[in-house]
Structure formats: C-alpha cells, structure tokens
Amino acid sequence: MRLTYTSDLWWKNAVIYCLDVETYKDGNGDGIGDFRGLTQQIDYLAGLGVTCLWLMPFYPTPNKDDGYDITDFYAIDPRLGTLGDFVEFMRTAHDRGLRVIADLVVNHTSDQHPWFKEARKSKDSPRRDWYVWSDKPEPDDPSMVVFPDKENSIWQYDKGSGQYYLHSFYKHQPDLNVANPEVRDEIARILGFWMELGLSGFRVDAVPFLIENVEPKLADPHEFLADLRAFMTRRKGDSILLGEVNVPYRQLLDYFGDGLGDQVTMCFDFIGMQSAWLSLARGEAEPLAAALKARPRPPKDCQWATFLRNHDELTLDKLTDEERQEIFRAFGPEKNMQIFGRGLRRRLPTMLGGDLRRIKMAYSLLFSLPGTPVLFYGEEIGMGENLDAEGRMAVRTPMQWSSEGGFTMAEPVRRMPDGPFGPDRVNVADQKRDTDSLLRWIQLLIERYRECPELAWGRHTVLDSGSPHVLAHRCDADGASVIALHNLGRTAEDVELKLEGLENYRLTDLLVDGTSDVSEQGVVRLPLGPHGCRWLRAAPAEVPPEDASVKADDSFTHPRRR
Ligand code: NOJ
Ligand code: CA
C-alpha cells in the first residue's frame, strides 16, 4: 500500500492520544497542569510515536463536569494558560509533526454561560430559543438519564421564568437548541475559530443528544452534521470529526452519513470495546470475533476509532445484564469500583491484576484491530486509578512522570494513587530506561502499526484459529497481508491457520524475531505462549518483508477503498 494515501486520509491510521491539559504537566508551579507544561512534553509524545493529540475541554468553566461545562467557547481556561500559550503549543506540536484535535462540547453549555443567563431571564428573552424549554415536559423515561447517581430527570424547572429546561446530562448543563439556525451558525463559528488556530478537527461530545434532543425536532437531524462537515471541508479539506456515538451498529452508519460518508469522519467503536472486555473477562475470542464480524464497514474515507479505556467510566451498557455482571466479577467486584450501574471506574492494568504479559497482549490486540487506536494518557505506562477520587475522576489523576510524581513542583490539585500503581512504581522516567517496560512495548506497537497500514485500511477477516482462546485475524490491502494472533487464555496454545492465497509464503514476526513458512496447502502452525501475541507480515519467500506492502501500479488519484 502506498504511504501517500495515509498522508491524505491521515486519520485512517492515526494514533490518537487523549489528554487533559489540567492533569498532564504543570508548567508554572501552581499544582495545575497547563499549556506551558504540556508544550515541554511534546518531544515525549512525538517520541512515543502518536500522531494526533486529542485535548479534553480547555475552555473557561465552573468545572462541575471536569470542563464539559463551558462558559466561553472562544477562550482558554485561565488556570491552563492564555491564547498565546495555546498558539505556542500548537506551533510546537505541528513542528514535531503532531496534529491536534479538541473536544467540541456543544450539546450543552454551563448554566453559568452568558447565553443561558440571558435566556433564562424571561420567556421573551431574545436568547430564549437558544435552549430547549417546556411548560410541561413528557414524563421522564429513566433510561434517558445519563448520570443516575446525581439526576432523576432530564428536565429542570426554572423558577425565575416559569418553564422547564432540558438537560441531557447534569442539570447545570442546559442543552443548546440546534433547531435554531442562530445556534447552528454559532457552532460553525466556534469550529471555524479553532480551525483557524490550527486544529485538525474535533472530538464531538454526545453526538446523538446534540442532534436529537431539540425543539422542534429537526426534519433531518443528520443534515446538520453534514452541514457542519461541509463547512469544515470548505475551510480545510483534511479536517475531521470524531464522534462520540454510543449506539448499536445498525444506527451508527447514519452518523457517518450512510453511503456518502459526509457526516462524522470517525466514530468510536463502543460495541467492539465492550466485546473486547467480555473476551478479556472470559479468556475467549468469541465475543470480540462476533463484534468484528457484525461491525459494518464505514463509508469510503471514514474509519472506526478503537479503544479499551477512555476518560469516562468503562461503559458496559450495550451488554446483557449477565455479561455485565461477568465483567464486574472479573474486573471490578467491589461496589466502589462500579459506577452508574453500567460501568467501572478503573484503568486497564488494575483490572488485569497488574499482569504485564496480559496487559501487553491487551494493547497488542487494540493496535491490531482494524481501525484507528485511541489511547488515554497514562495508558502507555500502565497507570492505575485512584478510587478515593469522586466518580469518574478516579481515572483522571495527574500523569506520572517520575518516581516523585514529576507532575508539579507544588502540591498537586489532584492526587495520584498510592500503592502498587503509585508514581514510585509506575512512571515514565523508569520505563524509559527499561527495555521490557510497557512504555517501550507501546512504542513498538505504534511503530509497527504505522508500518502496517493494511491493519487500518485493509479488508479484515476473522480466521478460524482452532482454539476458543485465540483470536486470529488477517488484514489485506492491495495484495499485501498482515496476520495477528492473540491468546486471551492463560495457557500456551498451538494454532494452525489456513491462509487462502498465501500458499508457500513466508510469515515474518513483527514484534519479535522469527519467521514461519506457509505450506503448499496454505497451512501454518504458530505456537503462542500464555497471553501471547504475534503480528506477522506475509510475503513470497523471495520478497523482503519490508517491500511486501508496495505495488507498482498503486495510483495517487484512486486510493483503494479497502
Ligand atoms: C461525554 C463526555 O465524555 C463526558 O465526560 C461528559 O460528562 C458528558 N459527555 C457531558 O458532556
Ligand atoms: Ca499550572
């Protein structure tokens, strides 16, 4: 496959790294992370090999939902720096070849936003219609309450103006009304502002809520997404929208813009993520294999964003009650580890009992899955959570740079965990010096993932591994093939694969040294250790593996669909 394709459609095999400026690195010694601190860490991120940073909200905020409650969409939270610091950060990131996207949280504002303050003044306020009001809302459907620990309705009575306002999330986050053309224009202006400052796109918060919870209902809610995307494309052809769309696969295609791919460029694969956790809990490939088979192919130029953990709870909402309980039993048996009745507020390494071999296998699996992997900061060093922190804040502790913490010279505003996942045991500085560390492993996975664009771009097939514990899949693009094997089980497995069209080929291991030859009948035996994993590039025996991906007749103008 020609690498030129991967520069035009950069998002299709990007490695995205999500971080919160507030918890990454303090540059001015006040205990809070900031843009100056983050900028000093750019070479760490470039060295890790990630290609795109996703910044969690950095806008002015009362901070009642960790910045997802915004009071000004056109400014920087003064605790994190100034617009000048932001521009210097962008400049430095671009210099190192890193793209940057940011959270776009326009389903709602903070109730402290001047727009809402004005809107709630009276029923006749010129901004009244920027939000969603009702004299007598329909009785609540409890399944629509996203944070059942704090809220019991999605409507809140506003005494002053005598109507209820809609809030899909917390009551301090009134929903904006995108049925109002002025609101839609303002949202485009926000996109335009940050794109002008260099952003390559946005992670769009709560997409289904944004387009569905409006008054009156939009005739075609998806038209709004297509309009936004068209606006962005006019301004900057390679900008993207990465959508938080946690809905079943059959509805998801609508968000890409079925057929056209003209709405959200990428969607997080929430279903695949939940199935991966069920597979990890059972030590069996079947749940994830079934999700991969069921997952629809996104429209041309669109892509799935794959992940194992993010900044929220590990939501298990799309599994059955029984499956969810199975995962709770395996990875979060204590009530304090669970949240909202549907998820876990833990990070991956603690859930896997700190077993480095299993943790490494889980990330190898993530990077081998067809799609664009997204890491949450600290995953690369195996950070754990702080269960003493409130709710989802458990996984949003400061980055652990050194054995002393290294996040700040002052008293950190948020506490790092103690014990086996504290900074004295888990930190960047130590892992940089240790060739067997998780950090070095993730760096290798990123390097190999980038060298194998077939994984992200290719047509993928789940293979029959002959073992219930082993997920085997292959990805083919433009006549080149990469095969990946992951042993979810605790015992060694001897896998025999039938590889159609690769008869007499040689398979070269990409994560360790080694080769295996495919027989004349297309069969190959591949042993795997307990929780073992292998990535293999296939090539005719006379072709060096590094040349197997390039074909002379690849064209610039027609990047292959798959
Ligand atoms: C989804 C975000 O990921 C979450 O952190 C936030 O609380 C809600 N949307 C509301 O913005
Ligand atoms: Ca600071």
| Residue whose C-alpha is closest to residue 70's, from 116, 37, 25 | 116
Q: What are the CA-CA distances from residue 497 to residues 233, 469, 483, 502 (Å)?
A: 44, 14, 10, 11
Span of 56-70, 204-218, 331-345 with lowest mean pLDDT: 204-218
From first CA to last CA, the distance across the chain in angstroms is 10
Ligand 1 mean position, distance from CA 549 (Å): 40
pTM: 0.97
Q: Quick one: pLDDT at residue 48?
A: 98
Q: Token pair for residue 387?
A: 């269960």
Q: Using one digit for the tens of pLDDT, what is the confidence trace for 448-476?
A: 999 999 999 999 999 999 999 999 999 99
Ligand 2 mean position, distance from CA 37 (Å): 7
Q: Using one digit for the tens of pLDDT, what is the confidence trace for 101-123?
A: 999 999 999 999 999 999 999 99
- Positive/negative CA dihedral, 242, 244, 248, 251: negative
| Residue whose C-alpha is closest to residue 516's, from 506, 529, 503 | 506
Mean pLDDT of 212-228: 90
Ligand 1 mean position, distance from CA 68 (Å): 6
- CATH of 3-107+182-449 given 3.40.605.10, 3.30.9.10, 1.10.3720.10, 3.20.20.80: 3.20.20.80
Q: Report whether 534 contacts 487 (CB < 8 A).
A: no
> Is residue 503 among the annotated active site residues?
no
Q: Outline which parts of the chain fall under CATH 3.90.400.10.
A: 114-166
Question: Of 34, 65, 77, 205, which residue is the catalytic one?
Answer: 205
Distance from C-alpha of 307 to C-alpha of 369, rounded to nearest angstrom: 10
Q: Outline which parts of the chain fall under CATH 2.60.40.1180.
A: 460-555
Question: Atom 3 in ligand 1: which residue has the minimum CA distance?
Answer: 312
Mean pLDDT of 65-83: 98
pLDDT at position 143 over 90: no
| Residue whose C-alpha is closest to residue 310's, from 247, 378, 357 | 378
**CA torsion angle 248 240 62 160 (round to 10):** -70
Question: Atom 5 in ligand 1: which residue has the minimum CA distance?
Answer: 312
Question: Of 244, 269, 312, 476, which residue is the catalytic one?
Answer: 244
pLDDT at position 88 over 90: yes
Q: Report whether 4 contacts 13 (CB < 8 A).
A: no
> Is residue 313 among the annotated active site residues?
no
pLDDT at position 559 over 70: no
pLDDT at position 562 over 60: no
Is 53 exposed, middle or buried, given 0-12, 13-18 or 19+ CB atoms closer than 10 A? buried
- The pocket of ion ligand 2, defined by CB under 5 A, consists of 26, 28, 30, 32, 34
pLDDT at position 435 over 90: yes
Closest ligand 1 atom to Cα of 392: 5
Q: Using one digit for the tens of pLDDT, what is the confidence trace for 353-369?
A: 999 999 999 999 999 99
pLDDT at position 553 over 70: no
Q: Which ligand is nearest to the CA of 63?
A: 1
* Count of other CB atoms within 10 angstroms of residue 161: 17
Question: Atom 6 in ligand 1: which residue has the minimum CA distance?
Answer: 68
Q: Outline which parts of the chain fall under CATH 3.20.20.80.
A: 3-107+182-449
Q: How crowded is the C-beta side of 199, counted as CA atoms within 13 Å?
A: 20
Ligand 1 mean position, distance from CA 204 (Å): 10
Mean confidence (pLDDT) of the chain: 96
Distance from C-alpha of 445 to C-alpha of 360, rounded to nearest angstrom: 10
Q: Quick one: pLDDT at residue 161?
A: 97
Q: Report whether 550 contacts 556 (CB < 8 A).
A: no
Ligand 1 interacting residues, C-beta cut-off 6 A: 65, 68, 105, 169, 205-206, 244, 312
Q: Quick one: pLDDT at residue 263?
A: 98
* Count of other CB atoms within 10 angstroms of residue 518: 23
What class does CATH assign to 114-166?
alpha beta
Q: Token pair for residue 346?
A: 């833990």
Q: In what order do the strands lie in the sheet with 533-540?
A: 459-463, 470-477, 480-487, 533-540, 505-509, 515-517
The topology (CATH level 3) of 460-555 is: Immunoglobulin-like (2.60.40)
Closest ligand 1 atom to Cα of 147: 7
Q: At what angle do helices 356-368 and 270-282 cross, to 10 degrees?
A: 150
Residue 30 CB contacts under 8 Å (≥ 6 apart), including other chains? 79, 408, 410
Closest ligand 1 atom to Cα of 69: 11
Distance from C-alpha of 462 to C-alpha of 398, rounded to nearest angstrom: 38
Q: Which ligand is nearest to the CA of 77?
A: 2
Counting residues of the chain whose pLDDT is more than 70, the rounded percentage is 98
Q: Quick one: pLDDT at residue 549?
A: 83
